[in-house]
Structure 1
Amino acid sequence: MTGRPHPSAWQELLADPITFFGTVMLTALMLPTLAPRLRDRAIAWLLTHAVLVPAPAAVVTIPTTGVGLDGRRLVIALLALVLAIAWATASARRRRDREHRS
């Protein structure tokens, strides 16, 4: 026995950024199907706060929602995705290096 407590499932999920982001993406893709009322409220909120634009003004549309991203919002979303991937990669590399040093 190592004396270290076994991490909870939530801690394990947060420790692996790729799994975490995969879970977030899967949830985001499944949510519109599982909870249409919640989806409609979320879309209304995102439109009200100018996070998304109506489909006619969008460069990229989100299927079955009638909303999407215009050019500026698309660039911001892509930058956020690149930063998330860079963070996940750096975190995985740091964890791997820590494990190899032990």
Structure 2
Amino acid sequence: MTQTKELPHPTREEIRIEAVLHALADPVRLQFVRELNRLGIPVACGAIPLPVNKSTRTHHMRVLREAGVTHVHPEGTARITALRKEDLDALYPGMLDGILGAKR
């Protein structure tokens, strides 16, 4: 039985505004985060449809995770993604809601 390795994530204290804004500046990543926020629950990475291929999706998921916008953990063969709303709200009050609520 193979064990899936836990992915690296920044701690709350390591999350930087520049990385968060960069991650959310991409329309595909912003679409994913908006949907994750709307659902309000962690989901498998592939559960939210995106207009990109699998390798590009993997890149987008990595950028969001490394910026501290999402937390990804393995669950069987799936990777479950959760929005780090609590961490982002604690560090940058109102920022995430403002970005996610902005007109498209």
Q: Normalized against structure 2, the TM-score is what?
A: 0.34
**Bigger proportion of residues as strand:** 2
**TM superposition score normalised by structure 1:** 0.34
- Which structure has more helix as a fraction of its residues? 1
